[in-house]
Amino acid sequence: MTMNFFPFSRPADSSAIVRGLALIVLVSLGSITPAAAATLDEFKCGVLNPPGQYGPFDYRTATGEQKYLVEVAHFSKENELLIRGTSQIRPGPDIDYTLRAFPNHPRALKSMMELHFRDKIDPPTMMRYTAECWFNRAIRFTPDDAQVRLVYGIYLLRKGEKKAAVEQLETARAGGLASANFQYNLGLAYFQAGDFEKARAQAYKAKEMGYELDGLKNLLAKAGQWREPPPSAPKPAEETAAPKAEESTAQQSTAPKN
């Protein structure tokens, strides 16, 4: 498969620059339409399906062959961990290719984010778009992908954009994410946003689901905001007796017949 990789300093044509400047003026005047906003996104962060590109494909529904063709050539484990590139020496170009083929590839988005924070460069080293643009492209492509919202929320949290991070993580929850790890991260976002009541509720929920770390609890305690969860209400007597009856029935069913 060919690399299909454009120069990083690709100049924009004059008509595109004029369109972009006109859109920026509309934004500043507060009169931009949704269609114009989408065009502005394309001007800033690129179209999703330029001619000659492989993809884009929705990573959630892509075939095994589509994933294999991209990942074996451009997203090895070493590349994902930012140790080295797959087809090149540095990891950036291969992550770039992967995210153009699969804009909502959650692990590639995470690697892009880590590269950005590690090198303290935006766009990330040897990638064509800014970190914000890669998330913009992913959300434009699959706005209902909860995993994208999760990674974006973590990115915003690390940038200190607490309110925006909470919004993305709540969108991820509405999209179906509900693991103990997710509950814990949402609690951290609430804590950083200063919503201690919701942060405590998330800490309780994560603990109930088996999350073992007490970092969020310790943060709340240090801020004087920790409260032990209320004791669980005792189950009604008939509910506690039911298992015994079932156990007795099971014993009877397994007893040998005379």
Shared domain check, 85 and 33: no
At residue 229, the pLDDT reads 84
pLDDT value at 255 more than 50? no
pLDDT in tens, 20-47: 554 454 445 455 566 656 667 888 999 9
Handedness of CA 74, 77, 79, 84 (dihedral sign): negative
- Asked if residue 85 is part of any domain, the answer here is yes
Shared domain check, 56 and 27: no
d(CA 238, CA 228): 29
Taking the CB of residue 126, how many other CB atoms lie within 10 A of it? Answer: 20
pLDDT value at 198 more than 50? yes
At residue 69, the pLDDT reads 96
Shared domain check, 33 and 59: no
- Asked if residue 236 is part of any domain, the answer here is no
- Asked if residue 113 is part of any domain, the answer here is yes
At residue 9, the pLDDT reads 35
Among residues 148, 193, 192, 187, which one has the least CA distance to residue 171?
148
- Asked if residue 151 is part of any domain, the answer here is no
Phi/psi of residue 147, nearest 5 degrees? -65, -40
Shared domain check, 82 and 29: no
Dihedral class, residue 124 (left if φ above 0, else alpha if ψ from -120 to 50, else beta): beta
- Asked if residue 43 is part of any domain, the answer here is yes
At residue 41, the pLDDT reads 84
- Are the C-beta atoms of 36 and 22 separated by less than 8 Å? no
Shared domain check, 61 and 44: no
d(CA 37, CA 23): 8
d(CA 37, CA 84): 37
As a whole number of Å, the end-to-end CA separation of the chain is: 72
Counting the structural domains of the chain, the total is 2
| Residue 39, domain extent | 20-48
pLDDT higher at 243 or 179: 179
Query: pTM to 2 decimals?
Result: 0.75
Which of the residue ranges 17-26, 103-112, 224-233 would you say has the lowest mean pLDDT?
17-26
* Residues near 239 by beta carbon (within 8 Å), at least 6 away in sequence: none
Write down the mean pLDDT value for the chain. Answer: 82
Shared domain check, 62 and 43: no
d(CA 91, CA 58): 22
At residue 182, the pLDDT reads 93
Residue 252: pLDDT band (50, 70, 90) is: very low
39 CB-side CA count, 13 A: 16
pLDDT higher at 4 or 208: 208
At residue 234, the pLDDT reads 52
Return the residue matching tokens 């972009």: 20
Which of the residue ranges 26-30, 50-54, 119-123, 162-166 would you say has the lowest mean pLDDT?
26-30
d(CA 1, CA 72): 11
- Asked if residue 226 is part of any domain, the answer here is no
Which of the residue ranges 8-17, 79-88, 159-168 would you say has the lowest mean pLDDT?
8-17
For the residues 81-102, what does the mean pLDDT come to?
A: 96
Shared domain check, 130 and 67: yes
| DSSP state string for 185-224 | HHHHHHHHTT-HHHHHHHHHHHHHTT----HHHHHHHHTT
- Asked if residue 94 is part of any domain, the answer here is yes
Q: What is the CA radius of gyration of the chain?
A: 25
